[in-house]
Copies of this chain bind each other. A is one copy, B any other.
Amino acid sequence: MTAAARKSFHAIKAEMARRIAERVWAPGALIPGEEVLAVEFGCARATVNRALQELARGGVLVRKRKAGTRVALHPMREARFVIPIVRQEIENKGGVYQFRLLSNGVEKAPECVTKRLGLGKPKDMLHVRCLHLSDDKPYQYEDRWINLDAVPSIRHETFETISPNEWLVTHSPFSQAEIVFHAGLAGADEADTLSLDENDPVFIIERLTYLPQKPITFVRMIHPGSHRMVTQL
């Protein structure tokens, strides 16, 4: 059983997950210490530790020094969504991707934008609007403001062959981001762009990205109401 012993931390993790799922270890209960489990599973404490830590990171266990490890009372599970490039998202679904540049130029950003980015008063920013299409049908309307101080080299990009989304992903990293999802109604501009009627429902994703101390971009991505964001866990 050397082979089995050699991948024991996965096996141990799985076994412990099973005990939690099947209530052998009830929610809130204190589970045995690492040393005890190490003896039970016939392995080193470090191996048990790794399994426990991964489960704790997954939220099903709560660990506290000296207090011990207990099964999470409310397994506040978390869903993970990949934040793909729109093109990939569309192509993964089997659609043919295209995008249209609607406008591209430096403008004075309204206060609602600069405020969200933590920039004080209205200032000149690069404003790019474009439409992403899947099989010639409007898929996402992207309305983006870019902080030229953070990414000066973007100023002269034409976005004729690459979308601003993709340009930023490949040219500008970020260290922090905030993402907001909500529902809304299509305004005149959005309805027109997305071939919807006014007051049709739309699914809105707003994303703010930052480098330490420097806001980079604020983008509103608007999908028709038929859009579904799906995840498994």
A180 adjacent to B230 (CB under 8 Å):
yes
Q: Count A interface residues, CB 8 Å.
A: 51
Confirm or deny: A188 has a beta carbon within 8 angstroms of a beta carbon on chain B: no
B184 adjacent to A183 (CB under 8 Å):
yes
Confirm or deny: A103 has a beta carbon within 8 angstroms of a beta carbon on chain B: no
Expressed in whole angstroms, the minimum distance between the Cβ of A84 and any Cβ of chain B is 5
Residue of B nearest to A77 (CB): B83
A176 adjacent to B233 (CB under 8 Å):
yes
A182 adjacent to B82 (CB under 8 Å):
no
Supposing A22-B173, A78-B80 touch, asked if A203 and B178 sit within 8 A by C-beta, the answer is no
CA distance A176 to B102 in the complex (A): 42
B179 adjacent to A233 (CB under 8 Å):
yes
A183 adjacent to B82 (CB under 8 Å):
no
Confirm or deny: A231 has a beta carbon within 8 angstroms of a beta carbon on chain B: yes
Q: Which 4 A/B pairs are nearest by Cβ-Cβ distance?
A: A183-B183, A183-B203, A181-B229, A183-B201
Q: Which residues of A contact B (CB under 8 A)?
A: 17, 20-23, 27, 73-85, 88, 169-170, 173-185, 199, 201-204, 211, 223, 225-233
